[in-house]
Amino acid sequence: MLFPLLCLLTLLSAPALADTPWKLVKTYPHDPAAFTEGLFFHDGALYESTGLEGRSAIRKVSLKDGKVIERRIIPQPYFGEGIVNWKDRLISVTWRHRQGFVWKLADFSPVSRFRYEGEGWGLTQDGRNLIMSDGTAQLRFLDPETLAETRRITVSFNGRLVDRLNELEYVKGEIWANIWYDNHIARIDPATGKVIDWIDIAPLAKASGATDDEAVPNGIAYDAQADRLFITGKYWPKLFEIRLQPMAKSSR
């Protein structure tokens, strides 16, 4: 797939790191072969889902050195997408097969499967619900025990729909979403679906050193205990820890 011209222009005109509404705290190694589709932080480690048929997997990864601690291959023909933790389980979805999986968080052994309509893209949770993206402007809320859909919100900014919602993370009462083939993270009000603000991470995409056309931002993880934010992307050899800086909202 060709890199859209608008995204390319955004990347080329990206501000220097010093001009961003966030501060770069630290850089960590990340597997450059990982086609990252899902990411979250739990008990000192990163949990990552990788995509592509025949290469999809869920993994527990060391933050310090990027090494894989635990891995479970997603069987063909499934294309792995978002993942999230709930109690002692890990839930994952797949792209176009309408098939979700439940695993034991401790060792990734299989527990059960579940079905959903449409496509599966990203997953996160707010402590009460699982939240799922499907590549459109809608976010689905799922009962974490039954995995049944309970409601939806439609994401918009200044009255315009925001589609291609991809990897998700719940951060301090907001839903953060990567936008496929865009260098901005949307900060979404979970009650209304309205975008509160945008975070431009084009400088991180450039600093990652990734050159593949598919090497788009797609990985947000939040360590709530230590208040740390981690950002990466598909095929990125780096994972970045950032801290937001207080400033006026963007007018994207």
Full set of structural domains in the chain with CATH: 5-242 (2.120.10.30)
Burial of 193-220, coded b for 16+ CB within 10 Å and e otherwise, reads bbbebbbbbbbbbebbebeeeebbbbbb
Alpha-carbon span 48 to 100, nearest angstrom: 16
Mean pLDDT of 217-222: 98
Alpha-carbon span 35 to 103, nearest angstrom: 20
Alpha-carbon span 29 to 161, nearest angstrom: 35
Q: What is the CA radius of gyration of the chain?
A: 17
Alpha-carbon span 86 to 130, nearest angstrom: 8
Q: Give the CA dihedral 162, 79, 56, 102, nearest 10 degrees.
A: 90
- Name the region of 54 (left: φ>0; alpha: ψ -120 to 50; beta: rest): left
Tokens of 220: 């947000």
Alpha-carbon span 36 to 51, nearest angstrom: 7
Q: Which helix (H) or strand (E) holds 52?
A: none
Q: Are 220 and 168 in contact (CB under 8 A)?
A: yes
Alpha-carbon span 29 to 34, nearest angstrom: 12
**Separation of CA 111 from chain center:** 23
Q: Quote the pLDDT of residue 20.
A: 63
Q: Quote the pLDDT of residue 1.
A: 34
Q: Quote the pLDDT of residue 38.
A: 97
Q: Quote the pLDDT of residue 21.
A: 85
Per residue in 147-204, pLDDT tens? 999 999 999 999 999 999 999 999 999 999 999 999 999 999 999 999 999 999 999 9
pLDDT at 8 over 80: no
pLDDT at 5 over 80: no
Q: Which residues contact 226 (CB under 8 A, 6 or more apart)?
A: none
Q: How confident is the model at residue 252 (pLDDT cuts 50, 70, 90)?
A: low
The region of weakest confidence among 4-8, 73-77, 98-102, 105-109 is 4-8
Per residue in 36-83, pLDDT tens? 999 999 999 999 999 999 999 999 999 999 999 999 999 999 999 999
